[in-house]
Chains A and B, each alone.
Chain A
């Protein structure tokens, strides 16, 4: 499909330009501990592939996936509760919004005190960063249902459960995928930050350790890896979305 390629050509050119400028700047400065060049970062990633892929990537991914799972469960559960009961909505919605004013990164050291260097301090950081867009977006999805469609189903004699299953759930599905696309990168960032602030393994921890060794390319290598993984996961979610939501924009 040549047409499709043309669509992404400008962004590809922009990325290429950015990398060339970065490379030139880094070569000009010639101080890899401050600004490593893209080539150095890729080479370092290759050199460190052993520990990165066998130990640190799996550690970060398990925090990410567990955190994402909890965030989705918590977010969807809260959205369901607020949709089912206006009282719950009035009680919870302001609190959920207020929870986002808490500087999670500042609290993370506290979580290490509570949970030690276990996986759970990192999972908590991940969940606190990720559940918010899930609950807000999925709740918006339930609320996006047209009242005249609910009326129509009521005249057909539908029960509340039937209205939920046959109308609200499918109507909220595109919103769920939007939430997922926001949640995946956020949970990876959350895991990395959690590891940065207190861990014994993981890409965030590894990046920080390279920092203390003034290894600029070593700081960037795990970050590059994280970005690539995040992009791949969002790509997978987009593919799933294309299969599940065939009616978006109608």
Chain B
């Protein structure tokens, strides 16, 4: 669904490249988390995958085709919800539909309402984002990402600004959404436990420049609950991953 082939990237004015000959692949329907210490280039990978940055070398493919030949191949969800304050929640969700065009206002409203129901915000359609709690805003932002209609979702630390309890609730919620929607998700986080809970596979960025990502399968069956994280093999894996990230720092 998403593959990097020998991708290199360097920010202007920096001595070291961020990525150098990086290749990896994500299968359709996978939930993959990418972890790494802050500043290691996780977000750079996501910005490359979403087309906001251009690689100096190599190719990035989504659904088999080079992303340079495509438009709207992914749904990108940034760290901050970025809901427009002048639009109601419903109007915010309409944005990707309006941009794509081809739907009548009635059809757009129907799609918005259906998606609001899916994320449990159907009574918030006419509210302003400012009236919502942090967790509800992230849910609305996720719903907006779903409405891009793309099968590939790129999520950049979407829960990092939330308080701990909301974060735990939100990751359980996200996992259910993934099970129901069958999307392919690349999820960036610096929280090892979050990565283990959510994904089938964890990619570790543990060098600079990033030449390869270490792929670590998570030994937990779906569906999962937060209690599953207490299993000894998961705890062992968690400590191992934390060790990897610390070595790099």
Contact = CB atoms under 8 A, between A and B. Distances in A.
Interface of A: 146, 148-149, 151-158, 162, 166-167, 170-171, 173, 245-247, 250
Interface of B: 47, 50-52, 71-72, 74-76, 78, 80, 82, 84-86, 95-96, 98-100, 128-130, 148
B76 A152 contact: yes
Given A155-B50, A166-B98, A148 B76 contact: no
Contact of A166 (B50, B51, B95): B95
Contacts of B76: 151-152, 155
19 contacts: A148-B80, A148-B82, A149-B84, A152-B78, A155-B50, A155-B51, A155-B74, A155-B148, A156-B96, A156-B100, A156-B148, A166-B95, A166-B98, A166-B99, A171-B86, A245-B86, A246-B128, A250-B85, A250-B128
A162 B101 CA distance: 11
A157 B99 contact: yes
Contact of A156 (B86, B99, B128): B99
B52 A155 contact: yes
B78 A148 contact: yes
A170 B88 CA distance: 13
B78 A246 contact: no
B72 A156 contact: yes
Contacts of A171: 86
A250 B130 contact: yes
Nearest to B51: A155
A196 B72 CA distance: 61
Contact of B128 (A149, A157, A245, A247): A247
Contacts of A245: 86
A21 B207 CA distance: 76
A240 B50 CA distance: 40
Given A156-B72, A156-B96, A158-B99, A151 B86 contact: no
Can you list the 4 inter-chain pairs with the closest CB atoms, starting with the nearest? Answer: A247-B85, A155-B76, A250-B85, A157-B72
B190 to A, nearest CB: 18
Given A148-B78, A247-B130, A154 B99 contact: no
Contacts of B71: 157
Contacts of A166: 95, 98-99
B82 A149 contact: yes
Given A151-B52, A155-B75, 16 more contacts: A146-B82, A148-B80, A148-B82, A149-B82, A149-B84, A151-B76, A152-B78, A153-B95, A153-B99, A155-B51, A155-B74, A156-B96, A156-B99, A157-B99, A157-B100, A247-B130
B95 A154 contact: no
A246 B85 CA distance: 9
A183 to B, nearest CB: 22
Contacts of A157: 71-72, 99-100
A171 B86 CA distance: 8
A157 B52 CA distance: 11
Contacts of A158: 99
Contacts of B96: 156
A88 B98 CA distance: 31
B94 to A, nearest CB: 10
A102 B76 CA distance: 50
B82 A167 contact: no
Contacts of B78: 148, 151-152
